Structure 1
Amino acid sequence: MKNCNHWAIASQKPSIAHSRKSPPQRGQIVELFDRHKSSTLSQSEAVELDRYLLLEPWVRLAKAHAYKHLQTAA
């Protein structure tokens, strides 16, 4: 099972390395940050922002790893 996951991830490295948030996604995150600053987040929005803040560093690490792998493979 571990090898299957490795190959699945390895085959997606180019798409992972070059992925970007869509403008609506970026706008939603900016809006959540702004509403957090003004203390007007609902509970579900606070959970969404917390999840984003938790996962974003991991996404950046995965993208950096994929990009590094693409550079060494080329």
Structure 2
Amino acid sequence: MIYKLDSDPAVRDNLGRVDYLVVPDWYYRTGEAAQKDPTLVEARKHAVAVATFGGGTDRVQIYRVSDHWKPPT
């Protein structure tokens, strides 16, 4: 779940890397995404789309995050 990356200390403090992102496209377009989930947004900047499912407002893209990017500690 996306909120775990930034809001759950047990996840955030022990997160060594992010391999894939699976989040509906609409989430990235919300004004809250960058404030609420900065790790998710930053990881997407270092990722490439590898699959797409659905369409329109229900579209979900799968992103593979670069092995060279590491979450902030």
The structure where helix makes up a greater share of residues is 1
Tell me which of the two structures has the higher relative contact order, counting C-alpha pairs closer than 8 angstroms and 6 or more residues apart: 1
Shorter-chain TM-score: which interval?
under 0.3
- TM, length-normalised to structure 2: 0.26
The structure where strand makes up a greater share of residues is 2
- TM, length-normalised to structure 1: 0.26
Larger radius of gyration: 1
